[in-house]
Amino acid sequence: MPAAGAPSAAAATVRKGPIVAALIIGAFVSLLNQTLINVALPTISADLSIEPSTAQWLTTGFMLVNGILVPLSAYLVGRFTTRLLFLVSMILFSIGTVICALSGQFPVLMAGRIVQAAGAGVLMPLMNVIFLTIFPVEKRGQAMGLMGIAMIFAPAVGPTLSGWVVQHYDWQVLFYIVLPIAIASLLLGAFTMKNVLPRREVKLDYLGVVLSTLGFGGLLYGFSEAGTKGWDSTLVLAMLAIGAVSLILLVVRQLSIKTPILEFRVFKFNMYALTTVINILVTMSMFGAMILLPLYLQNILGFTPIKAGLLLLPGAILMGIMSPITGMIFDRVGARWLAVAGLIITVVTTFEFSRLTDSTSYQALILLYTARMFGMSLLMMPIMTAGLNQLPRELLAHGTAMSNTLRTVGGALGTALLVSIMSSQAKQQGADMIREAGIDPSDAANQAAVAHITQEAYIHGINSAFLLAAWISVAALALAFFIRKTSPQEAVVQPVPAAAAAASSAAKGKLEG
């Protein structure tokens, strides 16, 4: 039996390069697909004659399906072969992309997004488990750094590409760009993907699936809608309550059955638990800021989508360059000081983003955002890898599923929380400024003054949200000092029943006699 964390015999003999290439291309196009649609939502709303709140379901629905499928990934990885899972995930994603590209009505486009999400929800956890299986512990940092190119570079470059496309072409072109990349990953995987993960007979906990769907689906829906409907909305509160109760029941059930869909026992490993919390906090800060900055650039500074996207491009390129370098550094020094350095940069730059004005220069914003992305490039993959490195082989799929699920929830929570803070603070500040100025907002003669106050209040709201994001990053920084280097733990030996122990002892006595 191989030592925990050592590649299995099958995994050690495969050609890693083609497998890694197929997975990275698939992950890149999956994540690119998510960020492309965000910038295009206003254009899609106008073209399909739907409300912005309806169009938002194109991202919310994608996130919901991901949140439901990711917890099932550990079961799917054990039940089906590596090759089959990869091919099915990329086929589903490609079919969904075709549906989206040919759609001319919202229901068809929504259906395509759901099919896309079904493929992407399986692909990302599968990629994590394969990387951790085919690479030995001492090479995992470098391997996860390669994976970071897709996970970091694609979401960052997406807004630039999307802004350029919607400014010059129909929004359907976005999916025609995605499709050939998805097909390339599918064809490469069809010829090179090997079955590197062991299969095992596992039973599906159907009640757990229902509770997981209600729990994560309820929370994700509630967090997503809170940004538009408000935290005091009856629907939002009801969905959050359903989600919370379902998750409590899910935890109780998963801890009491033999084959859980989500293995909460992974939190018995201290570094995994610590790095998961840090990852949630970092994701909350990062995802929220990715929404706030485009709003500021377009609504306050009046940038076109392509100009706003170009501002984000240097940071995206730097993150893509740094990801494999960070992985190699991680293999040598571990995650603690990389995470501390990255979070110090993240904290400082996020605090600076809380001091925006209507005259902040384009050059200053580029430098600030690029520096923030450099900080993020030092900490995202090392933190995740440090936690997963502590888990024994049989818990890697469960640890990956749990980590991805909680990061998805953290991203949704961070986005909803920061957008909600921005909206409420802007509304309060605007009302206070109008009252102090003693002007009547309904008077047409005061429209110019009201417009200026509204803009100032909007900036105040964005700054307040960035300030909260900075304090979230401070919390993550404080926890990062407790990270230590770990190695995979041996699987916990199940206790031997008393009767079996007695029989074994008796048999041993007879042999010795």
Q: pTM, whole model, 2 decimals?
A: 0.72
Average pLDDT (113-137) is 79
C-alpha dist (Å) from residue 499 to 435, 502, 503, 512: 80, 5, 6, 20
User: Comparing 305 with 367, which gets the higher pLDDT?
Assistant: 367
- pLDDT range class, residue 509, cuts 50, 70, 90: very low
Express each pLDDT in 22-44 by its tens digit: 888 888 888 788 777 777 777 78
Q: How far apart are CA 267 and CA 259, in angstroms?
A: 16
pLDDT for position 144: 64
pLDDT of residue 3 exceeding 50: no
pLDDT of residue 288 exceeding 80: no
pLDDT of residue 510 exceeding 60: no
User: What single DSSP character describes residue 223?
Assistant: H
pLDDT for position 495: 39
User: What single DSSP character describes residue 296?
Assistant: I
Classify domain 263-491 at the CATH topology level: Growth Hormone; Chain: A; (1.20.1250)
Residues 16 and 135: beta-carbon distance below 8 Å: yes
User: What single DSSP character describes residue 493?
Assistant: P
Express each pLDDT in 221-261 by its tens digit: 777 677 667 778 888 889 889 989 998 998 888 888 877 77
Nearest alpha carbon to residue 415 among 27, 63, 30: 63
| Domain 263-491 in the same topology as domain 1-201 | yes
Express each pLDDT in 450-471 by its tens digit: 777 888 888 888 899 899 999 9
pLDDT of residue 6 exceeding 50: no
What is the sign, positive or negative, of the torsion defined by CA atoms of 123, 140, 83, 396? negative
Nearest alpha carbon to residue 149 among 326, 15, 307: 326
pLDDT for position 471: 94
Write down the domain spans for the chain.
1-201, 205-260, 263-491
pLDDT for position 241: 93
Best mean pLDDT range from 53-67, 94-108, 184-198: 94-108
SS3 261: coil
Q: DSSP letters along 109-158, please?
A: HHHHHHHHHHHHHHHHHHHHHHHHHHS-GGGHHHHHHHHHIIIIIHHHHH
Q: How far apart are CA 442 and CA 116, in angstroms?
A: 47
Best mean pLDDT range from 125-134, 187-196, 259-268, 467-476: 467-476
SS3 490: coil
Average pLDDT (391-406) is 76
Nearest alpha carbon to residue 208 among 257, 241, 243, 244: 257
Q: How far apart are CA 481 and CA 338, in angstroms?
A: 10
pLDDT of residue 513 exceeding 50: no
Residues 22 and 188: beta-carbon distance below 8 Å: yes
Q: How far apart are CA 439 and CA 305, in angstroms?
A: 34
C-alpha dist (Å) from residue 23 to 82, 107, 129, 178, 323: 12, 30, 11, 15, 16
pLDDT for position 344: 95
Nearest alpha carbon to residue 100 among 183, 178, 185: 178
pLDDT for position 123: 80
Among 46-50, 108-112, 507-511, the minimum mean pLDDT is found in 507-511
Classify domain 1-201 at the CATH topology level: Growth Hormone; Chain: A; (1.20.1250)
Express each pLDDT in 312-336 by its tens digit: 778 777 877 787 788 778 877 778 8
Average pLDDT over the chain reads 78
pLDDT for position 224: 67
pLDDT for position 474: 94
Residues 149 and 323: beta-carbon distance below 8 Å: yes
pLDDT for position 143: 66
Average pLDDT (491-507) is 40
- pLDDT range class, residue 394, cuts 50, 70, 90: confident
C-alpha dist (Å) from residue 387 to 73, 114, 133, 426: 18, 31, 15, 39
pLDDT for position 97: 92
- pLDDT range class, residue 283, cuts 50, 70, 90: confident
Pair of tokens at residue 473: 């990053």
Question: Residue 237: CA atoms inside 13 Å, Cβ hemisphere, count?
Answer: 5
pLDDT of residue 156 exceeding 60: yes
pLDDT for position 198: 66
Q: How far apart are CA 285 and CA 410, in angstroms?
A: 9
Determine which helix (DSSP H) or strand (DSSP E) holds 390, and give its type and residue range: none
pLDDT of residue 478 exceeding 90: yes
Residue 251 neighbours by CB under 8 Å, 6+ apart: 264
Maximum C-alpha span of the chain: 107
Among 57-61, 138-142, 420-424, the minimum mean pLDDT is found in 138-142
What is the sign, positive or negative, of the torsion defined by CA atoms of 450, 454, 455, 460? positive
Pair of tokens at residue 401: 């599923």
Nearest alpha carbon to residue 100 among 59, 70, 51, 141: 59
Rounded-to-10 torsion of CA 222, 407, 189, 319: 120
Percent pLDDT > 90 in the chain is 12
Nearest alpha carbon to residue 397 among 281, 284, 205, 259: 259
Express each pLDDT in 331-386 by its tens digit: 777 788 888 999 999 999 999 999 988 888 888 888 998 898 888 888 877 887 78
pLDDT of residue 275 exceeding 50: yes
Q: How many CB atoms lie within 10 A of CB 78?
A: 18
Express each pLDDT in 65-112 by its tens digit: 776 777 777 677 777 787 888 888 889 999 999 999 988 888 999 999
